[in-house]
Amino acid sequence: MPDRDASRRRRAIYAALALLSLFSVALVWARYAYSQEPRFGWVIWNLFLAWIPFGLAVVVYDRHRAGTRAAMLLPLGALWLLFLPNAPYIVTDFKHLSPSAGVPLWFDIVVIAAPAWTGMLLGFLSLFLVQAVVRELAGRAAGWLVALGALGLASFGVYLGRVLRWNSWDVLTDPGLLAQLDGVLNDPRAVAMTILLSGFLTLSYLVLYAFMRLDLRDR
């Protein structure tokens, strides 16, 4: 019975995330159909990228539950961490908001807010799964160390993507970019943005974590 309940909860989460994603895509399509301005098409691509770390985390979690050794999970975990910044990245797309003659500003806010919220959920749920795996393998403290470290690195990754226009796959296709990190770390904007995003993402994740661990049977 517990396995069946867990399976139902998983399907419900998948369905909710899929509906949120479809709603986000529908908003972009509706805006284009109404205004004929292809202004927010890139939101769909960013939302697709936000699904990648979630999918990788599900694979890591399922393989762990199937008995795969930790050493075999490390490459997938590294790939998950590499793509994790794509999930919260959409929050920074609000910088593209500006008044439009044909579309109310409040509608454009929702066009970005819906995929941004979806991306945040995808990232946090993927982190919850990875943290659960680390907790079972190495203990609670290690789980939180990985979670907080991942949020900090993801925040730095958002800076690299938003300001320097780097992509997650650049590490694989153009490893020479890593040599430029020394200069990036000396940029006050990188430090400020990483600290600010880390605080926001960490506090937001703690709220979600508390809800995910809540037992509704408690009185």
pLDDT digits (tens, 9 = 90+) for 103-147: 899 999 999 999 999 999 999 999 999 999 999 999 999 999 999
30 lies in some domain: yes
Q: Which residues contact 120 (CB under 8 A, 6 or more apart)?
A: 87, 88, 90, 91, 204
Look at the chain and report how many structural domains it folds into: 1
The string of DSSP letters for 31-72 reads HHHHH----STHHHHHHHHHHHHHHHHHHHHHHHHTT--HHH
Identify residue 89 by its one-letter amino acid code: Y
Q: Tell me: the pLDDT tens digits for 43-87? A: 999 999 999 999 999 999 999 999 999 999 999 999 999 999 999
Distance between CA atoms of residues 177 and 167, nearest Å: 11
pLDDT at 219: 39
Per-residue model confidence (pLDDT) at position 189:
87
Q: The domain containing residue 70 runs over which residues?
A: 2-212
Radius of gyration for the alpha carbons in the chain, expressed in angstroms and rounded: 19
Whether 219 maps to a domain, the answer reads no
- Cα–Cα dist 98/96, whole Å: 6
Residue 215, judged by CB atoms within 10 A of its CB (0-12, 13-18, 19+), counts as exposed
Taking the C-alpha atoms of residue 189 and residue 152, their distance in angstroms, rounded to an integer, is 15
| pLDDT at residue 218 greater than cutoff 70 | no
In a domain, 20, yes or no: yes
182 in any annotated domain: yes
For residue 218, is it within any domain? no
DSSP 8-state class, residue 181: H
> What angle do helix axes 2-35 and 105-138 make, rounded to 10 degrees?
150
Under 8 Å between Cβ of 40 and 115: no
pLDDT computed for residue 184 by the predictor? 75
